[in-house]
Amino acid sequence: MPAPTATPPQMSADPADAATFRSVLGQVPTAVSVVTATTPEGPVGVTVGSFTSVSLDPPLVVFYAGLHSASAAALVAAGTFCVNVLSQDQDQVCGAFAGRTGDRFSSCTWQPAPNGAPRLDGAVAWIQCDVEESFPAGDHLAVVGRVRHLTAAREQRMPLVFHRGRLTRLDRACGRHAPTQRFDWWDA
C-alpha cells in the first residue's frame, strides 16, 4: 500500500498585511550590525538587522539591505566589507548608519581593517569578507560574503539587539546558563 501523500497547507495570495508581518517577525530578536566598506569616494556603511551565518565550509555569511540602498550597492561594488556587530552602548552609531545623514562616520571612531574596510571601535565582533554574490530578495538585496578574517572584542561586551521594533539590551540578571551540545541531528 503506498504511503499517503501530505497535502501542503493552502496559502492565500496575501498571507499577511505588512503590520502583522512586522509584528509577528518582530518577536525574533536580532543583533544589530553596521556593514562597512571603502570605496574610491571614501568609506560607506549601513545598519543591518538581518545578518547571519550561512555555511561553515566554506565560511559564508549573509546580510540584507534595502534593494535600492546606495550604500548597499557601494558595498557590493567595493568587493570587500566588514560586519561590525554593535555593542549595547552603540545605539547612536546604529542610528547614524541607519539614517540618511551625510557623514555617518562622525558618530564613531574607526580603524581600517586588514581588508581596508572601516572597523568600528567598540563593537562586539568584526567579520571581514569578500563579496561572494548578491541578489534581489523581495524588497531587499542579499549580500553573501566569504569570511576572510574574524575576531571578537577582548573584553566581554553585550550586543545591541533589535526586538519588537525597538533597540534593546540583553539583561545579565535574566540570563542563565543552558548546557549546549553539538547539533549532530542537523547534519543527518
Distances in Å between the Cα of 103 and the Cα atoms of 97, 106, 138 are: 9, 6, 29
pLDDT at residue 187 is higher than 70? no
DSSP state of 185: G
Contacts 24+ apart (CB under 8 A), 22-27: 22/165, 26/163, 26/164, 26/165, 27/163, 27/164
Question: Residue 153 has what pLDDT?
Answer: 94
Distance between CA atoms of residues 143 and 62, nearest Å: 5
Contacts of 7 (CB under 8 A, 6+ apart): none
Domain locations along the chain: 29-169
100-132 confidence digits (pLDDT tens): 777 898 889 999 999 999 999 999 999 999 999
Element (H, E) at 36: strand 33-39
Question: Residue 177 has what pLDDT?
Answer: 59
Please give the CATH number for the structural domain made up of 29-169: 2.30.110.10
Other Cβ atoms less than 10 A from the Cβ of 119: the count is: 18
34-47 confidence digits (pLDDT tens): 999 999 999 999 99
**Mean pLDDT confidence for 33-61:** 94
